[in-house]
Amino acid sequence: MQISVYNLMGEAKGTAELPEEIFNVVIKPEVVHEVFTAQEANARQSWADTKKRGEVSGGGKKPWPQKGTGRARHGSIRSPIWKGGGVAFGPLSERNYSTKINRKKKQLALKMVLTDKLQNNQLCVLEDFAASEVKTKTFVKFLKIAPLKSTSWLVLTPGKDANVLRMTNNIPKVKTELAKQVNVSALLQKQGLILSKAALAEIVALCIKPAV
């Protein structure tokens, strides 16, 4: 499979080879959904935390005698039914949301998402990110003429590139990441995918990396 390669001026600069075993696979939404939810869960941090009745302060003494007052029996003001008392069955920061998913399934879902991007004209390959002016307006101008049907974009680079970050950091709905760190979750959060030929090579290597 061939795909056109462009520069930041929107000019065609040849073609690049796309392996069919990566960019032309059968898409199964249930597999992509499983991997996406797993990756989102693994990125989730447990911040919510409540105190149980044994952790709140006070309540060492019985509020009033068991009998004779005409009021209901209570043993401690730390009871969950008291205002300021402990919380019954509340969220705890020790909760672990992570889930395991094997590499083969992650690679398969990644191939499916890449295939979907290509089929829906949401994939653009650049020769490189070289520009005469390393400014935000340069990349904004490219997005207006880029052959993509997208309103948000994920930019993948083969390595940390200060020039690319300088051009993209201030553009809303544009996110820049390293190609070797990309996953299904990142790809699904943005519509368009823009990457250089070098980043494409890293994506291919990521998709065919043998499972261990």
180: number of Cβ within 10 Å: 14
Measured CA to CA, the distance from residue 130 to residue 161 in angstroms comes to 11
Domain spans of the chain, in order of start:
2-44+97-208, 46-95
User: Does pLDDT of 58 surpass 90?
Assistant: no
Give the strand pairing for 123-126 and 2-6.
parallel
pLDDT at residue 72 in the model: 94
Range with the lowest mean pLDDT among 15-29, 48-62, 101-115?
Answer: 48-62
Give the strand pairing for 123-126 and 174-178.
unpaired
**Close Cβ partners of 113 (under 8 Å, ≥ 6 residues apart):** 32, 184, 187, 188
- pLDDT-derived band at 211 (thresholds 50, 70, 90) equals low
User: Does pLDDT of 59 surpass 90?
Assistant: no
pLDDT at residue 10 in the model: 87
User: Does pLDDT of 128 surpass 80?
Assistant: yes
For the segment 35-48, the average pLDDT, to the nearest whole number, is 94
> pTM for the whole thing?
0.82
Report yes or no: 179 and 195 within 8 Å, Cβ to Cβ.
yes
Q: In whole numbers, what is the pLDDT of the chain averaged over residues?
A: 93
**Tens digit of pLDDT for each residue in 133-169?**
999 999 999 999 988 889 999 999 999 999 999 999 9
- pLDDT-derived band at 123 (thresholds 50, 70, 90) equals very high
**Tens digit of pLDDT for each residue in 71-101?**
999 999 999 999 999 999 999 998 899 999 9
2-44+97-208, CATH topology level? Ribosomal Protein L4; Chain: A; (3.40.1370)
